[in-house]
């Protein structure tokens, strides 16, 4: 084993995830500082480019496309036949409940209850109520929010209350990443928030098609998860005349705090690949009626964030000349569905859908309907449902055809890299740090700020004097940084090398009680730990000052693919070696929505005609990589 001269402090990397008993390491504070810095930077850009109403009108359509894209809905899926069916009705004093299901796309079932007056007259205003997280088993979480439907039905509305994906009658998953280790959701660009938004859009389609609904008067409201979905729908669908999201949004500065982001499931978040201030989502409702309702002691929607959001919204609505169409309502209490919040929502919706601004009040009691009586499927669930597997099919994966010629390869590379640079790697800084690192002569080690305050650790080991090559070895968790890894020794030989500890490794190794915190918070900022590691490699190569050097990069597992992406964006890297690389981004490295553009074999193929070696188990997936090299007439430079 080739030993590296130790000059500075050795950063030992752990082999196990953090335990509750572990003491925080410096990396925790560095990453927290970085995340907070980036959240504030993005939030500060809320009104960027908007100085007059015409600016907002010009930008809004593009913003809506970006918003849908970040939900995995860009472009919107085809509106297929809803196949709506009512499986039963319940008659109560003053209102009727219809037990409804429809398919937002073939075999993706949405279960809900329609509450309507017993004796409707003409076309009525309609309300879509989207449910928060209430676990009612087979009854669906709609049964927990029946009092909302009853109030609306007994006050002259048609109200559709729909189950959410996870807590509906056909129970799927909201908590995929941190609970079930489905970090491939990041690579797929899949978030259950996209499903909830699409189900809501199709619910509005259903309401608009009813004979008893006035499609020009539709509102949406909901609490907690339903508050978030209310924001999604008001942003995505202009048929929403008024919206009352209740405890459904914070800004990035508050979201990226561990108690806040860890208190939310994946359905509350989109992937911020377009680098948005989060409040822009709410702003897409402007200038339609928007009431932002909250409780003042809600731990997962802290008041400082709420206050910043409403201040930004007031500024925009005032600029648009409609300051009276946005407001905030705050009531004492925690994260609960309370009468003051409900009355505020009822009053707001009355104002915009009935032109009636008078305050309203709830009855002291509501009729109680047993949850099992509200079931749409009282017996067997439909065998053809895809609710429980929708995470694998909801967002289409890219199917890239290998190029047939050098010219086609060049055009394909430019197109795919431009797309990746705009979205998946859109969080890359606009410029490299100015600091340079001298790598000549004796061994040296230190740290380099690739994206302050993020630092990487490096150890330079000189090679034989006759060799111009220098290998960059990308280290991972559990890899010592004082010796060349055994899997790299025979490849490096007598060449010089640098052992690089990118973010999350070495000086920024994290030891947080809930290790998923950093991974989830970074997605809200439009990046992942792995995409940041690509930048770390690029920035280090840019800073390295070693005359007449041929740079080569090597990594094992996902780290090898990280090196390949760095080479695509930094042509100064002239050779890539991937040891046991994953054949699909489902297995890493995890970059936001990368599978919507290309997959690992495509990315490796785009390196052609630069030398590429794959060392590891034979897999047919890399036959596609070979096809790229054939198109470049560089078959001899691809070995496996």
**CATH, residue 352:** 3.40.50.1820
For the cut 90, the answer to whether the pLDDT of residue 590 exceeds it is yes
Q: Chain-centre distance of CA 250, in angstroms?
A: 15
Residues 624 and 605: their CA atoms lie apart, in Å, by 7
Q: Which domain holds residue 185?
A: 53-392
Assign residue 6 a region (left: φ > 0; alpha: ψ between -120 and 50; beta: otherwise): beta
Residues 263 and 225: their CA atoms lie apart, in Å, by 12
Assign residue 122 a region (left: φ > 0; alpha: ψ between -120 and 50; beta: otherwise): left
208 falls within a domain: yes
Helices 339-354 + 146-153 axis angle, to 10? 40
Examine the domain organization and report whether 458 and 562 are in the same domain.
Answer: yes
The confidence score (pLDDT) of residue 533 equals 98
Each residue of 448-484: b (16+ CB within 10 Å) or e? bebbeebbbbbbbbbbeeeeebbbbbbbbeebebeeb
48 falls within a domain: no
Element (H or E) spanning 552, and its range? strand 550-556
Other Cβ atoms within 10 Å of 79 Cβ, number = 12
13 falls within a domain: no
Q: Which pLDDT tens digit goes with each residue over 480-514?
A: 888 899 999 999 999 999 999 999 998 888 765 55
The confidence score (pLDDT) of residue 32 equals 94
β-bridge pairing 573-579 and 612-615: parallel
Residues 576 and 555: their CA atoms lie apart, in Å, by 9
Residue by residue, what is the 3-state secondary structure of 283-319? Answer: HCCCCCEEEEEEECCCCCCCHHHHHHHHHHHHHHHHH
Q: Which pLDDT tens digit goes with each residue over 520-555?
A: 999 999 999 999 999 999 999 999 999 899 999 999
605 falls within a domain: yes
Examine the domain organization and report whether 467 and 579 are in the same domain.
Answer: yes
15 falls within a domain: no
The confidence score (pLDDT) of residue 512 equals 58
The confidence score (pLDDT) of residue 514 equals 58
Other Cβ atoms within 10 Å of 86 Cβ, number = 12
DSSP state at residue 477: T
Residues 550 and 574: their CA atoms lie apart, in Å, by 7
Residue by residue, what is the 3-state secondary structure of 152-216? Answer: HHCCCCEEEEECCCCCCCCCCCCCHHHHHCCCHHHHHCCCHHHHHHHHHHHHHHHHHCCCCEEEE
Examine the domain organization and report whether 382 and 403 are in the same domain.
Answer: no
Q: Chain-centre distance of CA 97, in angstroms?
A: 36
- Residue 637 tokens read as 């430079």
Examine the domain organization and report whether 296 and 426 are in the same domain.
Answer: no
Q: With beta carbons less than 8 A apart as the criterion, state whether 253 and 305 touch.
A: yes
103 falls within a domain: yes
Examine the domain organization and report whether 84 and 213 are in the same domain.
Answer: yes
| Domain end position, chosen among 392, 412, 427 | 392
26 falls within a domain: no
- Residue 36 tokens read as 């907070």
| Domain end position, chosen among 323, 358, 392 | 392
The confidence score (pLDDT) of residue 479 equals 82
Examine the domain organization and report whether 379 and 477 are in the same domain.
Answer: no
The number of domains in the chain is 2
Radius of gyration of the chain (CA): 27
**Cis preceding linkage at 75, omega within 30:** yes
Examine the domain organization and report whether 438 and 508 are in the same domain.
Answer: yes
Q: With beta carbons less than 8 A apart as the criterion, state whether 191 and 272 touch.
A: no
Examine the domain organization and report whether 409 and 370 are in the same domain.
Answer: no
Examine the domain organization and report whether 172 and 300 are in the same domain.
Answer: yes
Examine the domain organization and report whether 295 and 374 are in the same domain.
Answer: yes
Examine the domain organization and report whether 421 and 384 are in the same domain.
Answer: no
Examine the domain organization and report whether 505 and 559 are in the same domain.
Answer: yes
Residues 526 and 69: their CA atoms lie apart, in Å, by 13
492 falls within a domain: yes
Q: Which pLDDT tens digit goes with each residue over 397-430?
A: 999 999 999 999 999 999 999 999 999 999 999 9
- Residue 106 tokens read as 């073939």
The whole-chain average pLDDT of the chain stands at: 94
| Domain end position, chosen among 368, 392, 416 | 392
The confidence score (pLDDT) of residue 11 equals 25
């Amino acid at each position: 084993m080739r030993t590296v001269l130790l000059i500075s402090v050795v950063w030992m990397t752990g082999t196990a995830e953090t335990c509750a008993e572990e003491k925080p390491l410096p990396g925790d504070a560095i990453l927290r500082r970085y995340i907070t810095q980036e959240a504030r930077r993005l939030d500060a850009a809320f009104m960027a480019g908007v100085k007059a109403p015409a600016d907002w009108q010009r930008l809004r359509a593009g913003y809506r496309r970006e918003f849908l894209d970040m939900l995995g809905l860009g472009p919107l899926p085809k509106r297929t036949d809803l196949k709506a069916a009512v499986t039963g009705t319940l008659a109560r004093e003053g209102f009727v409940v219809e037990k409804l299901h429809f398919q937002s796309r073939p075999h993706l079932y949405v279960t809900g209850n329609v509450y309507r007056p017993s004796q409707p007259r003409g076309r009525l205003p309609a309300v879509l109520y989207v449910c928060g997280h209430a676990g009612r088993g087979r009854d669906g979480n709609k049964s927990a929010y029946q009092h909302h439907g009853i109030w609306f039905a007994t006050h002259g509305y048609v109200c559709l209350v729909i189950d959410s994906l996870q807590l509906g009658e056909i129970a799927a998953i909201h908590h995929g990443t941190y609970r079930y280790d489905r970090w491939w959701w990041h690579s797929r660009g899949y978030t259950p928030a996209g499903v909830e938004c699409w189900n809501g859009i199709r619910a509005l389609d259903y309401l608009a098609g009813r004979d008893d609904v006035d499609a020009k008067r539709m509102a949406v409201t909901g609490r907690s998860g339903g508050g978030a979905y209310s924001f999604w729908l008001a942003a995505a669908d202009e048929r929403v005349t008024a919206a009352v999201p209740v405890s459904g949004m914070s800004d990035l500065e508050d979201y990226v705090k561990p108690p806040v982001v860890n208190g939310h499931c994946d359905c509350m978040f989109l992937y911020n690949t377009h680098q948005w201030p989060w409040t822009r989502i709410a702003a897409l409702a402007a200038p339609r009626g928007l009431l932002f309702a909250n409780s003042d002691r809600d731990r997962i929607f802290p008041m400082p964030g709420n206050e910043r959001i409403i201040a930004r919204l007031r500024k925009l609505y005032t600029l648009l000349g409609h300051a009276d169409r946005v407001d905030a309502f705050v009531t004492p209490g925690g994260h609960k569905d309370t009468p003051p919040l409900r009355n505020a929502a009822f009053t707001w919706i009355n104002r915009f859908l009935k032109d009636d601004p008078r305050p309203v009040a709830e009855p002291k009691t509501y009729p109680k309907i047993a949850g099992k009586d509200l079931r749409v499927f009282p017996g067997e669930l439909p065998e053809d449902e895809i609710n429980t597997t929708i995470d694998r099919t909801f967002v289409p994966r890219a199917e890239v055809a290998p190029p047939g010629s050098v010219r086609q390869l060049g055009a394909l590379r430019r197109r795919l890299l431009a797309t990746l640079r705009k979205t998946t790697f859109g969080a890359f800084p606009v410029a490299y740090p100015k600091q340079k690192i001298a790598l000549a002569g004796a061994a040296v080690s230190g740290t380099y700020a690739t994206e302050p305050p993020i630092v990487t650790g490096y150890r330079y080991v000189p090679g034989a004097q006759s060799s111009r090559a220098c290998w960059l070895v990308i280290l991972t968790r559990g890899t010592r940084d004082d010796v060349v890894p055994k899997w790299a020794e025979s490849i490096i030989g007598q060449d010089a090398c640098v052992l690089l500890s990118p973010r999350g490794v070495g000086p920024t190794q994290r030891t947080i009680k809930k290790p998923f915190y950093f991974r989830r918070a970074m997605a809200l900022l439009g990046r992942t730990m792995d995409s940041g590691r690509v930048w770390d490699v690029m920035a280090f190569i840019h800073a390295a000052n070693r005359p007449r050097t041929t740079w080569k990069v090597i990594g094992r597992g996902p780290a090898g693919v990280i090196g390949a992406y760095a080479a695509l964006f930094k042509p100064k890297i002239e050779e890539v070696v991937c040891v046991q690389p994953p054949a699909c981004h489902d297995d890493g490295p995890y970059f936001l929505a990368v599978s919507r553009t290309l997959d690992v074999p495509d990315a490796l193929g785009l390196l052609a005609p630069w030398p590429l070696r794959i060392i590891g188990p034979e897999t047919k997936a890399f036959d596609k990589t070979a096809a790229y090299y054939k198109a470049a007439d560089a078959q001899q430079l691809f070995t496996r």
